[in-house]
Structure 1
Amino acid sequence: MNTIDQPTQTRIQQWLSAEYDLDTVSLVQQLIDNNEETELIDSFYKDLEFGTGGLRGIMGVGSNRMNKYTIGKATQGLANYLKKQFPNQPIKVAVSYDSRNNSQKFGNLVADVFAANGMHVYLFQELRPTPMLSYAVRHFGCQGGVMLTASHNPKEYNGYKAYWSDGGQLVAPHDKNVITEVNAIQSVTEIRFERVEENITLVGEEFDQLYIDANKKLSIHPEAVQAQHDLKIVYSSIHGTGITVVPKMLEAWGFHNIHLVEEQAQPNGNFPTVVYPNPEEEEAMTKAIQKGKDIDADVVMATDPDADRVGLAVKNHRGEIQLLNGNQIGSLLIYYVLSSKKDKGLLNENDFIVKTIVTSNLMTDISTAFHVKHYETLTGFKFIGEVMTLVEEKENYLVGGEESYGFLVGDLVRDKDAVNACAFIAEMAAYFKNQGKSVFDVLLDIYGSYGFYQEKLISLTKKGKAGADEIKQMMANLRATPPQFLGGIPVKEIRDYDLGIAHELASNSKTKIALPKSDVLQFITVDGDVISARPSGTEPKIKFYCSVKEQLPSPDAYEQVALQLEQKVKNIMADIVKD
């Protein structure tokens, strides 16, 4: 304990007090007795921060871990804030959870605290996807909600997503105000853990049908689905919640040739068949792709544990199953929705789409071509949801997405929705197949019309306190000595979203960025390449995004241009990513 600083030691001693249950005290003492200083430091060097989206961390004992007390404190703080915001009225909240280890236990714990505070809780009886929690908040007229999930993080993590009355995750000013309430709790004795049974209503399987029926009404081309009802679809839930609803949603839309990846169909918080339960990772899609090859599938899809992200693979122009990235999936969905609505005369002047600042400008190019307004937000779907809520009385949201495989068609929820996206991806594939085209053919058509965009994401993992410090230093270094050239191409503009300033280098002119502050740096080259750097808000990572563009003269030139762009991306990333 000699190398542990005094504030950390104080937190450790507090967790050995009689305020905490005997099991917790015993586990803390065990770490001390075994002289596990690194684990003690990482577990206690700070309080697990209730960030702008809630909590996310490694499960275990300690102030910087996901456990009964950190979750209880977050819930008590949120309950206190809800009481202040909705005085003298009954308060309702919805609570759901995913397949992670302890998620069900944590979900019941959250329900207990809300119920003990006199609130009526709609608690999902069994695990369900995150978008269904958002839908439940809106359906039951709740003032708030909580989803227990760490999304696509490794198995040792869990998390706590807090929602507001619009069904979206907390945004300003509520996010910071809830943090203030959480931080105001000085002792775990202030947390009300005693369950009040009459304040809890269990939400059962019957709710699935309400959600499915509402989504089915959004279908644009049901006639194409009917014509292609035997479209070969492979689906994997990667041991998560998607298995509870995605197959039922696809069947309800009219698809009857769905092949599940059986070895990944059972919910399991250990995610035994993958390294990371993240459809962004090629490895996590391996079994689904193999099944797709075995049956010659038209569409291969996989969702993450809480089913708000979806990965997609389709047959390319050579007939091989090829993974698409989040930018490609989102661009295809936007093109499908806008072109279909235009063909049916359903586009209106007040329609709009939304994307985030690190997501491909191809989405913007498509919307501009269809004369549909677009919004751009900070990274995180909660900001897309915020735009939807802010303009819902005057404008009509159609579709939006982010490069991290999060998409939403229609405005039933205020979060990314992989269940909804799976249905629309399948419908899109059916519609284009009806026209004699594959999804990949359409992607090449899009590149031919709007430009061939190539994107790459590099994530560097930096764990623990030392890793967090290293990430801060990397961002500080980029600000102190920003690159003047990337891949040999001059940088023409630097956007610092933390300062809220865009700096045009040639004229030395500076303009304000009309978005809230965020720790993101963007470098735009004279070629129009966009390179972004940002620490992840949900994982111990720093992320570097690169987007480059070239004209695609013909579909036959795809490989040649792809290789050219890959080399350009490689050269650029070599200049900015320093591990």
Structure 2
Amino acid sequence: MDSQIQAKVNEWLAFDKNPATRAEIESLRDAGNTEELKRRLIESNSVQLASQGLCAYVLQNVPNATERGVVVGHDHRYNSEKWAQLTAAAFVSKGFKVYLYKGIVHTPLVPYTVSKLNAAAGVMITASHNPKDDNGYKVYWENAVQIISPHDAANVDNLVIDRTEEMTVAYLGYIASLSRTRLASAGKQMLQSSQVYQYLHAWSFSGIIDRANKVFDFKPLEHVKEQQDPNPDFPLLLSLILKKRCIGLGNQDCERIWFVKKPDGTWFVFSGDQLGSCLRVDIEGYKASGRPIEKLAMVASTVSSKLIGAMAAKEGFKFVESLTGFKYIGNAARALEAEGYNVLFGYEEAIGFMLGEEVRDKDGVSATSGKLATDYLEEIYAQYGYFRPTSNSYFICSQSEIVDQIFARLRSYNDPASLSKDKMSQYPKSIGGLTVMDIRDLTTGHGFDSRGHMITFKAKGDGVAIVLTVRTSGTEPKIKYYLEGSGSTREQVTKALARVVDELRDEWMQAKLHNLGIPGA
């Protein structure tokens, strides 16, 4: 056996007091199963090291941390339960009170409980919507938002506390309050006729979703029997759910939600931006409550639709954009709260919605309390203008030097040799026949800081306005773009967006010259 693996085995057996897990490791060692040992020891060791490091950091930075405790939950992926127990053990060893959930829970319950119990931190073992072989370690700070940059056996039973049912009941009470305040004027309307709601081989369809459904007093939803049991292999049998008129799908840990409606025999797919437009705060209801509209705030990622921004400009509430990801959206919400704003909604176009004031992460359960219908969308467009759902796509490029070259060219598009101090004048002045009116380059210090390349262009012309964001991916060899258009008619906006995509591909990216991969090509 490899000496490094043998050392890991010896290290494990030196501290593991659990007879069952010790026996597993000893059995694998005796069988010479190096690959399985490597997977288990290295991954578990990483979880332990991360937990010990987090524990030390929380002790140093959070007042009364051991008494306030930490919240630990897990999904149904392979090893999730074991890693949650390892995480809890690391904190217990330092005298922390640990609120360890009993069984599988949905991700939003962890930040909710951190907030509800005023815990020092929270950890959720989950990989969200990632492939089945992945797993992850999601950390929430004492403000109940994901973090961003800046064993005495006699005591264990007293330190590990199960408040699963208590917190679940409290959480359902919280989303019931959302139903009362958000749906009073909307009329408690969800999609009618035959409905099927499916969380993809996760625990939540027969758990929290059904319980939430009763809270909202909606008629029972039908589930796909073949997919309703948790399965870490995530087999997707789409044919089983395509026979219904209305479909709701959520990812494995109950964070995201999206709906498909089939009116008059045709499919209608709600984009993340359209769902966000429907689920945002009921403006008329908020005004009727007597609360000052100028203290209402909503948050969206920079690449999401600008429709809520248009609403804010017309109605007088605060709208703020953040970097992509709910760790940024949630922290932006907390910052607004510190300024005295009432932040009731946040979202990103990748189908994640944050409703209410308790959960500062995407929450597919509370999101079911909104009104969703194609006619409601038409009402919104009639009042605030037509916004074409964001067109998101990408170009494939595995050579970082070419990516840098493409973005450098965009920054000196008009006159590469110019010595002008007005650097913004060197960017493209038009696209698709529309005049570029505003540019925000996060890479070079315009706007807020970001890693990698990210440039946003706003252009107008002939009654159409577009917002185009081009950025690199932090995890894939791609140049991604996000495009949205608004105007008075669908036809006008659709034609303009087609011209923009053509020029982006052929002139700005020079896809043929650089041999960029294009989806579907």
TM value normalised by structure 1: 0.72
Give the match for residue 256 of structure 2: 309
Deviation at 1:228, TM superposition (A): 7.6
Give the match for residue 277 of structure 1: none
Deviation at 1:349, TM superposition (A): 2.2
Q: Which amino acid aligns with 1:70?
A: S
**1:410 is matched with which residue: 356, 372, 384?**
356
Give the match for residue 530 of structure 1: 467
CA distance in structure 1 between the partners assigned to 2:190 and 2:272 by the alignment:
25
1:205-255 deviation line (CA, Å, top 9, x unaligned): 343211001111122335865688976542111112432211210111101
CA distance in structure 1 between the partners assigned to 2:432 and 2:333 by the alignment:
38
**Cα–Cα, structure 1 residues 411 and 196, in superposed 2: closer, same or farther, change >3 Å?**
same
8 Å Cα contact 2:202-2:252 kept in structure 1: yes
CA distance in structure 1 between the partners assigned to 2:193 and 2:432 by the alignment:
43
**Cα–Cα, structure 1 residues 341 and 159, in superposed 2: closer, same or farther, change >3 Å?**
same
**2:232 is matched with which residue: 269, 277, 291?**
269
CA distance in structure 2 between the partners assigned to 1:532 and 1:418 by the alignment:
26
Give the match for residue 138 of structure 1: 115
8 Å Cα contact 2:118-2:142 kept in structure 1: yes
**2:173 is matched with which residue: 213, 217, 230?**
213
1:458-496 deviation line (CA, Å, top 9, x unaligned): 25789xxxxxxx374454233322264655766565533
**Cα–Cα, structure 1 residues 350 and 563, in superposed 2: closer, same or farther, change >3 Å?**
closer
Give the match for residue 304 of structure 2: 359
CA distance in structure 1 between the partners assigned to 2:112 and 2:453 by the alignment:
31
Deviation at 1:103, TM superposition (A): 1.4
Count of residues in correspondence between the two structures: 467
Give the match for residue 283 of structure 2: 338
1:147-175 deviation line (CA, Å, top 9, x unaligned): 111111111111111010111000242xx
Give the match for residue 574 of structure 1: 505
SS, match of residue 90 in structure 1: helix
CA distance in structure 2 between the partners assigned to 1:541 and 1:27 by the alignment:
40
8 Å Cα contact 1:242-1:419 kept in structure 2: no
8 Å Cα contact 2:5-2:34 kept in structure 1: no
8 Å Cα contact 1:495-1:523 kept in structure 2: yes
Deviation at 1:110, TM superposition (A): 1.1
**1:441 is matched with which residue: 360, 366, 375?**
375
1:414-455 deviation line (CA, Å, top 9, x unaligned): 11111100122xxx14xxxxxxxxx11222333343233232
Unaligned runs of 5+ in 2: 13-24, 414-427
Q: Which amino acid aligns with 2:387?
A: F
Are residues 1:82 and 2:58 paired?
yes
**Cα–Cα, structure 1 residues 304 and 347, in superposed 2: closer, same or farther, change >3 Å?**
farther
Q: How does 1:401-550 map onto structure 2 within 5 Å?
A: 401-424=347-370, 428-429=371-372, 439-448=373-382, 449-458=384-393, 470=398, 472-473=400-401, 475-482=403-410, 484=428, 494-501=439-446, 513=447, 515-524=448-457, 526-527=459-460, 528-537=465-474, 539-540=475-476, 542=478, 544-550=480-486
SS, match of residue 130 in structure 1: coil
CA distance in structure 1 between the partners assigned to 2:288 and 2:503 by the alignment:
40
TM value normalised by structure 2: 0.79
CA distance in structure 2 between the partners assigned to 1:72 and 1:108 by the alignment:
10
8 Å Cα contact 2:80-2:135 kept in structure 1: yes
Percent of pairs with identical residues: 27
**2:78 is matched with which residue: 88, 91, 101?**
101
**Cα–Cα, structure 1 residues 517 and 523, in superposed 2: closer, same or farther, change >3 Å?**
closer
Q: Which amino acid aligns with 1:81?
A: Y
CA distance in structure 1 between the partners assigned to 2:32 and 2:496 by the alignment:
52
CA distance in structure 1 between the partners assigned to 2:31 and 2:400 by the alignment:
31
8 Å Cα contact 1:97-1:104 kept in structure 2: yes
CA distance in structure 1 between the partners assigned to 2:32 and 2:454 by the alignment:
40
CA distance in structure 2 between the partners assigned to 1:460 and 1:101 by the alignment:
33
**Cα–Cα, structure 1 residues 360 and 228, in superposed 2: closer, same or farther, change >3 Å?**
closer
1:256-313 deviation line (CA, Å, top 9, x unaligned): 2311122222111110126xxxxxxxxx6x654x1433xxx4xx21111111111122
CA distance in structure 2 between the partners assigned to 1:391 and 1:548 by the alignment:
26
Give the match for residue 182 of structure 1: none
**1:323 is matched with which residue: 269, 287, 296?**
269
CA distance in structure 1 between the partners assigned to 2:49 and 2:117 by the alignment:
25
| Pairwise CA RMSD | 3.4
SS, match of residue 544 in structure 1: strand
SS, match of residue 73 in structure 2: strand
Unaligned runs of 5+ in 1: 1-11, 33-42, 44-59, 174-190, 275-283, 430-438, 463-469, 502-512
**Cα–Cα, structure 1 residues 529 and 227, in superposed 2: closer, same or farther, change >3 Å?**
closer
8 Å Cα contact 1:362-1:453 kept in structure 2: no
Q: How does 1:41-440 map onto structure 2 within 5 Å?
A: 60=39, 67-86=43-62, 90-91=66-67, 92-173=69-150, 196-219=156-179, 220-222=182-184, 232-243=194-205, 244-273=207-236, 287-288=240-241, 290-293=242-245, 297=246, 300-316=247-263, 318=264, 320-334=266-280, 337-342=282-287, 345-346=290-291, 348-393=293-338, 394-424=340-370, 428-429=371-372, 439-440=373-374
Q: Which amino acid aligns with 2:165?
A: E
8 Å Cα contact 1:242-1:303 kept in structure 2: no
**Cα–Cα, structure 1 residues 273 and 341, in superposed 2: closer, same or farther, change >3 Å?**
same
8 Å Cα contact 1:354-1:401 kept in structure 2: yes
8 Å Cα contact 1:15-1:28 kept in structure 2: no
Deviation at 1:371, TM superposition (A): 1.1
